[in-house]
Amino acid sequence: MSLLKILEEEQLKGNPNKILIRTQRAQFVESGDVVLFISIAHALRLRSKMNRCVSLGLRIDNALKRKVKFLNDPQIPVEKVNQTCERCPLDNSQCSERTAPPSVFIQEKKEELMNRTLKKLVTDYRAKNLKI
């Protein structure tokens, strides 16, 4: 559940000035990179009924592992993510936060299939000793 949704629930329970701070490790589906996110959500003071969430992402590498001792805390959730919903191969059972259909991912898969099919046609054609 997103931090803004949790904050909204807290506000509905009568905690309008609640400030939430959460951490999460995000593993990127395609690259395998892991990022530590530290997020803070709170109500905007100048605009009523408006919240904001700010997240700081730190790529987890050997230097960060040496400096941040709580990285492997089992209380920190790990989520699989991607750059954008449009490029993400995860289906709805794997991601409850999707905000857009995977249109770019689907288009790229169609293009890959078309290229493989064309390459096979050319290979088959050449195998019959015919020249293009």
**Within a domain: residue 119?**
no
User: Between 59 and 29, whose confidence is greater?
Assistant: 59
Predicted confidence band of residue 131 (pLDDT cuts 50, 70, 90): low
Please say if the pLDDT value at position 1 is more than 80: no
Please say if the pLDDT value at position 76 is more than 70: yes
Please say if the pLDDT value at position 90 is more than 90: no
pTM to 2 decimal places: 0.70
Structural domain count, the chain = 1
Q: What secondary structure, in 3-state letters, does 18-38 show?
A: CCEEEEEEEEECCCCCEEEEE
**Within a domain: residue 17?**
yes
Please say if the pLDDT value at position 130 is more than 70: no
**Within a domain: residue 126?**
no
Which pLDDT belongs to residue 132? 54
**Within a domain: residue 123?**
no
**Within a domain: residue 105?**
no
**Within a domain: residue 128?**
no
Domain of residue 13: give its range: 3-81
**Within a domain: residue 93?**
no
Quote the CA–CA distance of 72 and 78 in Å, as a whole number: 10
**Within a domain: residue 70?**
yes
